[in-house]
């Protein structure tokens, strides 16, 4: 076992949480407007979202660290996809909450789903466990797509 085995895990998890925290802070002012829009009856209570996203960003960080520590020739491609999908994920919050572009944000989530699926497939070729850790993220983003679509259609 490598001496600094845990450092990539800490780095990826902290990076994810810091990036999402910064976006959360930047979009917090727009949350009042979101509270007043019509939503699907399946929309979870507001307190659920930060809990779920913290868990997902942690799993994403663990998964990315597993790929980072691999010796695979596909590692660079996998991590590139990882960072691209993370950026697309973070931009979504601005589109949806700050700009209230509900239609565009729905299609942006479809792009994110494609990127997550590509990431999972690429991760799978390197480390099966790393790929499987991304499945809850894929499921949650698909559900978020349904919620975003509902907000778009209802408003």
Residue 80: partners with Cβ closer than 8 Å, 6 or more residues away? none
Ordered per-residue pLDDT tens for the chain, 155 residues: 455 689 999 999 999 999 999 999 999 989 888 989 999 999 999 999 999 999 999 999 999 999 999 999 999 999 999 999 999 999 999 999 999 999 999 999 999 999 999 999 999 999 999 999 999 999 999 999 999 999 999 99
- What is the pLDDT, as a whole number, of residue 1? 46
The structure tokens 């939503």 sit at 39
**Distance between CA 51 and CA 47 in Å, rounded?**
7
Break the chain down into helix, strand, coil percent, rounded to 5.
80, 0, 20
Q: 150 and 40 in contact (C-beta within 8 Å)?
A: yes
| Rounded alpha-carbon distances, angstroms, from residue 110 to 5, 48, 88, 107, 146 | 35, 22, 11, 5, 10
The per-type count for the chain, helices as H runs and strands as E runs, is 7, 0
Selection from 144, 137, 146, 145 nearest residue 57 by Cα = 137
The model's pTM is 0.93
């Amino acid at each position: 076992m490598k001496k600094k085995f845990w450092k990539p895990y800490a780095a990826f998890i902290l990076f994810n949480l810091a990036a999402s925290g910064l976006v959360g802070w930047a979009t917090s002012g727009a949350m009042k407007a979101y509270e007043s829009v019509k939503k699907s009856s399946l929309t979870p209570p507001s307190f659920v979202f930060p809990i779920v996203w913290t868990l997902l960003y942690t799993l994403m960080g663990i998964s990315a660290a597993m790929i980072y520590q691999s010796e695979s020739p596909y590692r660079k491609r996998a991590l590139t996809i990882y960072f691209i999908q993370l950026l697309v994920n973070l931009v979504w919050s601005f589109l949806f909450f700050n700009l209230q572009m509900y239609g565009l944000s729905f299609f942006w989530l479809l792009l994110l789903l494609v990127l997550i699926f590509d990431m999972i497939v690429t991760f799978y070729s390197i480390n099966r466990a790393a790929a499987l850790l991304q499945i809850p993220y894929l499921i949650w983003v698909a559900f978020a797509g349904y919620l975003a679509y509902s907000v778009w259609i209802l408003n």
